[in-house]
Amino acid sequence: MAIISRKNKRQDVALSTGALLRAYEKMFLIRVAEEKIAALYLKNKIMSFVHFYIGQEAVAVGVADSIGLKDKMLGNHRSHGHYLAKGGDLKRMVCELLGKEGGLAKGKGGSMHMVDRSVNFVGSTPILGSVVPLSCGVAFEQKYNKRKSVTVAFLGDGAFEEGVIYETINLAGLFKLPLLIVVENNLYSVNSPLKDRRAEGHNVAKIVRGFGAKYIKADGKNYRDVRVKAGKMVAYLRKGNGPGVLECFTHRHMAHSAPIFDESSRKEDVLEKRLQQDSIKRLRSELRRAGVSEKKLASIESEKIRYADESIAFAFAAPYPKPETLYTNVFAR
């Protein structure tokens, strides 16, 4: 059964109830995994810095569902959700967070250094904005070798103010690279709101288009909106038209880099508003209206909770790297 939007029937018709259910499964897994990882962090079980993705799940899953396995993805410091949305292995991810040998970077990278070639997750990097020029190089390789695939890079609204972003968009526009830059605008750079960081008249759409890139704005709290608009952008890139920027307005529930619900700096995204607009809550309600039973949804949720617990138990039981491997795999050759 297809769920069809009256506003955009032609594009939404492909989003069947089955597709929305699969999206819900991924989004719920990201949410429950992050909640359990946050609990471990508060118990001093994780020594790595951790930036939580709770609240932004619709962006990662909506974008990931618009691309294929051969398409490549890069993330930033807040990339647990990006990696899992791309089809990543939760067990290996938790191993990395615990510094275990079976981790994505053999336990040496932690939360902000994940890489998994098996699902074409090229990697994540904590240096503000650095993911964008790196992704430009990946997209250049795709075009040079005529691979007919695209590259997706995620960054936040704070990172979008780095000068290297504009240099990269200009270069990608010049060469018409298949690069999709996804800006997850959660309204804050740490605790600094947009109005305290951007001059009056600052217009992201005009800036992006001025460098020869396509710009689309999406509701990052709505899976359907992200999925449809990301799909439109990816189709544009596959035709060789050049780069694009998809700006998704969303909310992160927790503080910038700690598993706490810090409301001290919140103005627009107060708790009540965030909970009302929560992406998982909204998709769940849409599925119920489409006829999916409460029993079915509860079964999915129970299975994902069980898998998250299983993954964490697996990671705790996994071995640490051997001392003699301390200096191996540190530099790429």
- Say which CATH number the domain at 193 has: 3.40.50.970
Kindly state the tokens that stand for 211.
Answer: 């460098």
Q: Is residue 293 part of a domain?
A: yes
Domain span at residue 14? 9-317
d(CA 207, CA 215): 9
d(CA 80, CA 94): 10
Q: Is residue 255 part of a domain?
A: yes
The pLDDT assigned to 14 comes to: 61
Angle between helix 279-289 and 294-317 (nearest 10): 140
d(CA 73, CA 138): 9
- Cβ contacts of residue 160 below 8 Å, gap of 6+? 129, 183, 185, 204
Q: Is residue 201 part of a domain?
A: yes
Q: Is residue 115 part of a domain?
A: yes
The pLDDT assigned to 332 comes to: 64
pLDDT digits (tens, 9 = 90+) for 205-249: 999 999 999 999 999 999 999 999 999 999 999 999 999 999 999
Domain count, the chain: 1
d(CA 212, CA 201): 20
d(CA 116, CA 124): 10
pTM, whole model, 2 decimals? 0.90
Q: Is residue 322 part of a domain?
A: no
The pLDDT assigned to 70 comes to: 96
Q: Is residue 4 part of a domain?
A: no
Which residues of the chain are under the pLDDT cut of 70?
1-14, 260-263, 332-333
d(CA 157, CA 198): 11
For residues 119 and 88, is the Cβ–Cβ distance under 8 A?
yes
Q: Is residue 108 part of a domain?
A: yes
Q: Is residue 83 part of a domain?
A: yes
For residues 79 and 122, is the Cβ–Cβ distance under 8 A?
no
d(CA 90, CA 82): 12
Radius of gyration of the chain (CA): 19
The pLDDT assigned to 333 comes to: 63
- Rounded to a whole number of angstroms, the distance between the first and last alpha carbons of the chain is 50
